[in-house]
Amino acid sequence: MSFSIAGKTAIVTGAANGVGLAIARHFVDHGANVVFADRDEEGLDKEVGEQSQQEDSPVRAFSGDLREKLTIANLLSATLDAFDQVDILVNASRQLLPSDPLDPKEDSVSTLLEQNLMTSLRLTQAISKRMIKQAEEDGRESGQAGAIVNLSSIAARRAHPELLGYSVSCAALDQMTRSMAVALAPHRIRVNAVSFGSVMSASLQNTLKGDDDSRADIIAHTPLSRIARASEVAEAAQFLASDGAGFMTGQIVTVDGGRTLLDSVAAPAH
C-alpha cells in the first residue's frame, strides 16, 4: 500500500497559517507540487514568498478571496499555468466565530456557512470539473482521477451553543463530503474529510499562553492525554489524498485523540 503523493499537484486553501500551512508544507516535503492559497497575502509572502518565485520550485502562492467565483477560476488557471494539472484539493480554509444562539440579530451561522461550507463546495465543483476533463483527455479508464480532502471539526458532533455557527457549518460540510463523494464516484474522484479536535497551531498556542487551566481542561477530556500536532492532521490528509486510500470515499476520519468517545457534558469548547 502506497501513501505516496510524489509528482501530484495539490491546491491547499487556508495555507498561510495553522493546519492548512502544515498540510501544504507536508505535501511539498513528500514530493507534491503545491499551490498555497489564502486571502492573507502578507502571510503567504512570509511563509513561501521567496520559494514560490523560483522557476523550478514545487511551490506557488495564490492570494485572493475564495468566496468569489472569479477568484476560484483564477486559482485554477494559476495552478494549470504553473503545473499543467491538478490532482488533489484540500479545503483547509476555515473560520471560527463565537455565536449567541438567543440573539435574533446573530449572523455567525450565515457567515460561517458561506466561508466553511459554500466556499469549499464551489471549489470542489470547479476543481472536480478539471479533474474529470484531465481523465478524459488522458484516456484513463481506471485508477484515481482526483482526490478531495475537506477539513472539518468534531464540533459537528458536539453541542456547544457558543459555537453554534461553527458547529452547524462543520456538520453541513460533513454532509457535503458524503454527497459529493457519491456524485463524483462515477468519475473516479474520491471525497473525504478529516475531522479534528484541538491542534497545537499558532492560534491555539496564543490562546493557551499563560492559561494552564484551559490546557489542562483539554487534556483531561482527551483519552490520549495531549493536544494534537498539526503534522498529525497533515499525515491524515496525505493518506486520504494518496492511492493508499483508493477505496475510501465519503468518510469522515476523526483525529481527536479519542475525545469524541467521552460524554460531551461539560466538555471544553476548544
Which amino acids are annotated catalytic? 166
Residue 269's Cβ-side half-sphere holds a number of Cα atoms within 13 Å equal to 12
The answer to whether 155 and 166 are in contact (CB under 8 A) is: yes
Please state the φ and ψ torsions of residue 141, each to the nearest 5 degrees.
Answer: -115, 0
Cα–Cα distance between 15 and 147 in angstroms, integer? 18
The answer to whether 191 and 181 are in contact (CB under 8 A) is: yes
Q: What is the maximal distance between C-alpha atoms in the chain?
A: 58
For the sheet containing 88-91, what is the strand order? 59-63, 33-38, 9-13, 88-91, 146-153, 189-196, 252-255
Is residue 207 helix, strand or coil? helix
The answer to whether 193 and 252 are in contact (CB under 8 A) is: yes
Is residue 17 helix, strand or coil? coil
